[in-house]
Amino acid sequence: MNQLLRFEPILKDKIWGGEKLNKLLNKDSDKKNVGESWEISDVKNEPSIVLNGSLKGKNLKELISEFKGDLVGDKIYDRFGDKFPLLIKFIDAKEALSIQLHPHDDLAKKRHNSFGKTEMWYVMQADKKANLIVGFKKEVTSVEYLKHLENKSLLDILNVDEVNKGDVYFIPTGRVHAIGAGVMLAEIQQTSDITYRIYDWDRSNPDGTFRDLHTEEALDAIDYSIKDSYQTTYSKKENIASQIVSCPYFTTNVLAVLGDVEVNHNEKDSFVIYMCVDGEVSFQYEKQIEVLKTGETILIPASIKNVKISSIIKSELLEVYIK
């Protein structure tokens, strides 16, 4: 396979969504509250469509079926078959998302015939005092948790962090979390749309109905353990990929680019995804050149090992693959 791949964003109208994806990331939409832009998706019935080159119009499912390991990597194809293992998003929360968590693989398979949902967040922009809810701030039992849920006092036991551009949070399955109002971020996750919503701020849909809560399903899926800090620390070096997160489901590096970088992926048996989270960069493979602006994404097939990345301004990429 010899083409760098761009995909059409799949835009999602959400009760909590806003206008940043349109105004800041140029995601053209007539939707009123765009909360998510699915950049690369193989969620059931919603596969991404190729935007560029000779493969334009084909969807991700068709590409995997045709190119197999040349697209995703031989080990990944052996493991996942025709299912693409990651869902790549940009998210804008004008209002706070529900407080929620995701089940682990075994539970998700048993209940929903789905993968679990381990994910990570990279904050791209945050309004003043905007926050994320991640994990518990004190040890509680399931009985104490239910008491706080019934009393609508969950925030008394949950960890709330004010956040800034560049902050990173890793969200393993079972960890209670919510994106607060005023945060725009990049999200990398397992391919799954299984969410256990435990509290939705008592807000209603436009038609007066309420979104489902999953109190019983969540009880045995919650991780009640606590950590001193839930934020992921990392360092950046210009023109060198620096690891942020590595787990069985994905590895994410940050790559600060200025000038030219020759990237070699010979040691990887995986596709590589780049998300531009700041600035503007160009990717060159043989005679193909693709320009990525903030809020755009590109997929490098596993068969392509050498790519030139260039930027005339300080820019930042997230580099995502599977080990």
Active site residues: 197
- 238 within 8 A of 256, measured Cβ to Cβ: yes
Tokens of 95: 């209002």
Distance CA 292, CA 171 (A): 27
Q: Which two tokens stand for residue 282?
A: 């160009």
Tell me the two tokens of residue 118: 């381990």
Report yes or no: 178 and 121 within 8 Å, Cβ to Cβ: no
Cβ-contact 218, 102 below 8 angstroms = no
Gap between the Cα atoms of 214 and 108, Å rounded: 14
CA dist 247 and 258 (Å) reads 28
CB 10 within 8 A of CB 35: no
Name beta bridge partners: 38: 10, 89
